[in-house]
Amino acid sequence: MEESPVRATFITVGLLLWVLTAAAAQTPATAPAQAPAPNTQKPGMKPRPPLLFSEPWRLPPYTGERTDENMRFTPAVVTNPRLEVKLYGPDAKVVLASIHEERVDLWNGMATSPVAITLRDRKNYVDLTDAARLRWIVRTNAIHLLYPVVKLADGRLLIGDRSIDTNGEFLQLDIAFSNMRWYALDPDKVIVLTEVTRPDLSKVDEVGLAALAPGGGHGITGSANFSAVDLFAYPVPR
């Protein structure tokens, strides 16, 4: 008996749907375009604190050509009104503001002594425990190294043993403050003293970096550049 045209059409459509369904079942599902990155927070780990402050620096006011004298650090170099910047070291007065890679940075190349540079939030201490991070674009030249520095709420200046060497390149680095050995740092001479065990980093007055070697002068000599800096930490009201 001859099938009707309508029945043949239904059979054909049914076979087509069956083929498409089977093919879809064998094709792996693909992720949507530009899917968000998975959450990288580890179980039990405290969340990263938000950005507390930033400082990009600027050149000091000057007239005429730039010289070693009119480019020296002054409070006018600081752009963030909530911040104070402290310079430590017998010859810290000659730290210069300069421009590299279209950013302003502070440079210790003319200093004949060790130098430490720290930042202080006028309204808050900072909590540097757990996941707090100091993010700084820096450059070290000619085997000079940088080290983390903190000033505690009790007034002691400490230096950590985690050295930073960028081999002549500007690099953005995240500095964590846990699992370091800490030493007292003479605030006048910027020399390392005795070890300090288990310092309280939950209430820190200042945070920064130190170069323990004198600068080598102009050119690619022993020195360090301190460019834009961010601090990710929780505030502790003063």
Domains of the chain: residue spans and CATH: 51-237 (2.60.120.430)
- State residue 25's pLDDT score: 44
Show the CA angle centred on residue 36, arms to residues 30 and 37, nearest 5°.
Answer: 100
For residue 168, what pLDDT band results from cuts at 50, 70 and 90?
very high
Q: What is the pLDDT of residues 186-220, one digit of tens each?
A: 999 999 999 999 999 999 999 999 999 999 999 98
Q: Residue 219 in 3-state DSSP?
A: coil
pTM over 0.85: no
- State residue 236's pLDDT score: 98
- Inform me whether the pLDDT recorded for 73 exceeds 90: yes
For residues 81-102, average pLDDT: 98
Q: What is the pLDDT of residues 106-161, one digit of tens each?
A: 999 999 999 999 999 999 999 999 999 999 999 999 999 999 999 999 999 999 99
The CA-based dihedral angle spanning residues 171, 176, 181, 183, taken in that order and rounded to the nearest 10 degrees:
70
- State residue 90's pLDDT score: 98
Q: What is the pLDDT of residues 19-72, one digit of tens each?
A: 344 444 444 443 344 444 444 456 666 788 999 999 999 999 999 999 999 999
CA distance 163 to 147: 5
Q: Beta-carbon neighbour count of residue 174 at 10 Å?
A: 10
